[in-house]
Amino acid sequence: MANLPHRARGVKVLKAVSSPLRLQILNLLFDKNALSYTELMNELKMNPSRDAGRFAYHLKFLLKADLVEADAEAKKYFLTDLGKMVIDVADRVEKKAVKPRGMLVRTSHFTLEEFDANKISNSLIKEAKVPPEIAQKAAKQAEKRLLKSKTKYLTAPLIREVVNAILVEKGFEDYRHKLTRLGMPVHEVTALADTNTTQNSEAKLSAAGNAVFSEYTLLNVFPRDIADAHASGALHIEDLGTWIMKPKEIMHDLRFFLQNGIKPDNPLQLSTPPPNSLESALSTTFNMLLHTSKETSGTQTCSYFNVFLAPYAKGVDATRIKESLRLFILNLNQHANATLGLELTVPTFIADKPAIGPQGKTIGKYADFVSETQLLASLIIEVFMEESIPKPLLNPTIVIKIGNDALADQNAKPILLKAHALAIATGTPNFAAKQKEKEAAVFSASGLKLTPDLTGDWETDTLRTGCLGTVTINLPRIAHECEKDKNKFFEILRERCEMATRALGIKYNALKQRGKHLLPFMLQTRNGDTYFRLENCTRAINFAGYKETVETLIGKNITDEENTKFTEEIAQNIAAFRHKIGRKHGKRLYPAMLRSPEASERLAQLDMEKYGVAKVKFSGTREKPYYSTSKRLSLKAGDFLCVPSEQLDAEMKLKGLSTGGSLSIIELGEADCKPEELLSLTAHLVVSQALEFFTYNRVSTYCGNCRKSWFGTLHKCPSCGSMSTLTVFNRFAFT
């Protein structure tokens, strides 16, 4: 008899849920949390004048059964814990009683399972940290919608879409953001898989992976302001798909591998010992570059390439050296998936450093191998010239470092003449000015510059490190946003620089945290010495559209004085910004003007869509617009070749914006010049310190039918008359 009151209460609860209307009231309060008297009647579509009595009766019944409570202060009703339990039991009873045919779900694990709402709530709690009560309500509502749709075959993405829609409706945007599924639309995957495209299967898989990680980085790694700035075109984050996984560039020190051999990151692969011949040294270099290509997103440069290999050329026949170099260069050309640079130094200031020779042993100093150093440089240039006869050999790129010592060295002159003959024929070599006070500087093929500015030690600061990443700022966008108010221009510029700096800081922290797993080859350690110095990497804030910005703000009739003043103001603002944040974000945060075809085209296109073609100053054509990210100079013919002085003056003024590197492109056009004339121009540029890093660009047309090439852009082959077999080579078409 003692249990009778409890049984009576149980009967009252069961009687309370026996009415469809009362059960509907409970479900409404479960879904909406709390509702007022009037809100409940409106949700039930009851007429206040006609149905008030009936509604009051049922509501009072639920209150007496302790399934609903009233908040007198808020004048709202809400479910009690017992009410929530009853809702759950009622749902389970309904499922057992009705026994609907189960909905099948194709999961992300490629299995078919019966639909279970509990898995939705568990997923919400685990993936998006949704509170259990909200998760259960969303899962219940999703189940109702899916059952109502009478869908018999579901997919995990479809369920996720329904759940996301419910979260948005309820105002839980932050939870929806965390739950967003990453991937590509079916249409884009179909297009990517199309066999008619020129990409191979590896490239297609890489593109799909990049798309997923790009989306992940924007949604889950960057703060909303940085992600929005990239998406809108205020700035461009380079290599977004690998931002949290790979550094952008690396400057190699071959001595590490010549001394230690190759230790692969795959435990199933065998290590190789230190090389004992020139062929094995080149093989070691080739394998090192292939391994590193998996762990970098951009350019790799072998600094002092001919210097470090010189000991292996001692006593070797020149013909054998040349053919070994030819095989090495052609293999790189076929297997490289990014730009590679071979830096040749003629002669070298590191002559007093211990030389690493066969089997990794020290054999004197590099000063003992000057003739081999010069021979290697000469033969490499010859290989490039010979292999570029049918069409230019564009990768790897030669970086030739020239200083006053090389210009005065009679043994170096034939090498420099060969290099300039190659420049005239193909426009492929890059030239770096080795100034006395900056002789330890190294340059990558992209134009990145590293100097001993961190510790003062050239080996620590310039080798086995590189560029962490690059963020390109859209200068013309700022020009439009500031409405010709220069103070506002510099204010916005500082804001964009701050966002770029934070993005680079996020990348550094990600690589620092996960580097050992993501970069096992580059971060390998020998005798306690780690190869890649991640902490010494530069962080580049790149600028796109300087020329177009000047035209937008000041107009095409800009005077030299106005240009100079504006350039100086930008440089001063960047310098002040770097000084302010230097302690927090490291000393190696540099402004740069590096080529970025993707950024230059994307940012120009977005600005044209935003402001209209008539308002946007751009380079290129309406169909293929771009913003300038490199500095172009023209060649002036006369008694001797020269670059117009006003152009060189403009270059000097831009140095404050390119501390981290730049590439000046001197257009040869179809000029017929001799190697001696071009070398004379190079000597003038080096001695006067007018340019630090430059190249001579030559546009050529190659015919695949008769395997011949000509200067300039042709639409018909002069030899065979073919039009469909022509390919135009221009290294810098859209920058």
pLDDT digits (tens, 9 = 90+) for 173-183: 777 777 776 66
* Cβ contact 74:29 at 8 Å: no
Average pLDDT, the chain: 85
Angstrom distance (rounded) from CA 719 to CA 716: 9
Query: What angle, rounded to 10 degrees, do the helices at 560-585 and 546-553 form?
Result: 120
pLDDT the model gives residue 215: 85
Burial 696-707 (b: 16+ CB within 10 A, else e): bbbbbbbbeeee
115 in the same domain as 92: no
77 in the same domain as 115: no
Torsion of CA 420, 421, 423, 424, to 10 degrees: 120
Is the model's pLDDT at 733 over the cut of 90? no
273 in the same domain as 229: no
- Tell me what the mean pLDDT of segment 49-73 comes to: 85
588 in the same domain as 559: yes
pLDDT the model gives residue 67: 87
Based on the structure, what is the number of domains in the chain? 5
What would the pLDDT profile of 397-455 be if each residue is shown by its tens digit? 999 998 888 888 888 999 999 999 999 988 889 999 876 644 678 999 999 999 998 88
Tell me which of 653 and 589 has the higher pLDDT.
589
**How far are the Cα atoms of 277, 372, 376, 379, 567 from residue 319, in angstroms, in the given order?**
15, 13, 11, 9, 51
pLDDT the model gives residue 638: 66
- Domain span including residue 129: 100-181
Lowest mean pLDDT among 260-269, 366-375, 436-445, 669-678: 436-445
What would the pLDDT profile of 569-605 be if each residue is shown by its tens digit? 888 888 888 878 766 666 789 999 999 999 999 999 9
117 within domain boundaries: yes
83 within domain boundaries: yes
As a whole number of Å, the CA-based R_g of the chain is 34
pLDDT the model gives residue 240: 93
Domain boundary among 391, 426, 443: 443
478 in the same domain as 395: no
What would the pLDDT profile of 88-129 be if each residue is shown by its tens digit? 787 777 666 554 456 777 666 555 677 788 888 888 888 788
Is the model's pLDDT at 1 over the cut of 50? no
Angstrom distance (rounded) from CA 147 to CA 135: 18
pLDDT the model gives residue 627: 93
Query: What CATH number does the domain containing 47 carry?
Result: 1.10.10.10
What would the pLDDT profile of 487-502 be if each residue is shown by its tens digit? 999 999 999 999 999 9
The residue behind tokens 């831009």 is 654
64 in the same domain as 171: no
Report the candidate in 643, 626, 635, 650 with the shortest Cα–Cα distance to residue 733. Answer: 626
- Long-range contacts (CB closer than 8 Å, 24 or more residues apart) made by 185-190: none
pLDDT the model gives residue 679: 93
Q: Which amino acid is at 488?
A: K
- Tell me what the mean pLDDT of segment 204-223 comes to: 84
pLDDT the model gives residue 290: 94
560 within domain boundaries: yes
550 within domain boundaries: yes
685 within domain boundaries: no
Cis upstream peptide for 347 (omega within 30°):
yes
**How far are the Cα atoms of 348, 470, 733 from residue 476, in angstroms, in the given order?**
42, 18, 20
559 in the same domain as 543: yes
Angstrom distance (rounded) from CA 246 to CA 294: 9
Write out the two tokens for 661: 């590197």
pLDDT the model gives residue 346: 75
Burial 5-18 (b: 16+ CB within 10 A, else e): eeeeeeeebeebbe
What would the pLDDT profile of 266-310 be if each residue is shown by its tens digit? 777 788 899 999 999 999 999 999 999 999 999 999 999 999 999
What would the pLDDT profile of 515-553 be if each residue is shown by its tens digit? 889 999 999 998 889 999 999 999 999 999 988 888 888
Burial 217-247 (b: 16+ CB within 10 A, else e): bbeebbeeebbebbeebbbbbbbbbbbbbbb
623 in the same domain as 480: yes
pLDDT the model gives residue 540: 94
Domain boundary among 96, 121, 154: 96
622 in the same domain as 587: yes
What would the pLDDT profile of 236-251 be if each residue is shown by its tens digit? 999 999 999 999 999 9
* Cβ contact 432:305 at 8 Å: no
**Which DSSP string do the residues of 219-254 spell out, in sequence order?**
IIIS-HHHHHHHHHTSEEETTGGGTTT--SEEEE-H
571 in the same domain as 434: no
108 in the same domain as 86: no
208 within domain boundaries: no
Angstrom distance (rounded) from CA 48 to CA 198: 69
pLDDT the model gives residue 2: 43
645 within domain boundaries: no
Through-space distance between the first and last CA atoms of the chain, rounded to whole angstroms: 92
527 in the same domain as 422: no
Taking phi over 0 as left and psi of -120 to 50 as alpha, with beta for the rest, 643 belongs to beta
pLDDT the model gives residue 3: 47
Nearby residues of 496 by Cβ (< 8 Å), 6 or more positions away: 229, 234, 235, 473, 474, 478
Domain boundary among 629, 646, 674: 629
The rounded Cα 464 to chain-centroid distance in angstroms is 21
What would the pLDDT profile of 155-197 be if each residue is shown by its tens digit? 777 888 888 888 888 888 777 777 776 666 665 666 666 655 5
- Long-range contacts (CB closer than 8 Å, 24 or more residues apart) made by 47-54: 54/21
Cis upstream peptide for 354 (omega within 30°):
no
**Which DSSP string do the residues of 669-703 spell out, in sequence order?**
TT----HHHHHHHHHHHHHTT--SEEEEE--EEEE
345 within domain boundaries: yes
Tell me which of 429 and 148 has the higher pLDDT.
429
Q: Which amino acid is at 233?
A: G
Tell me which of 94 and 505 has the higher pLDDT.
505
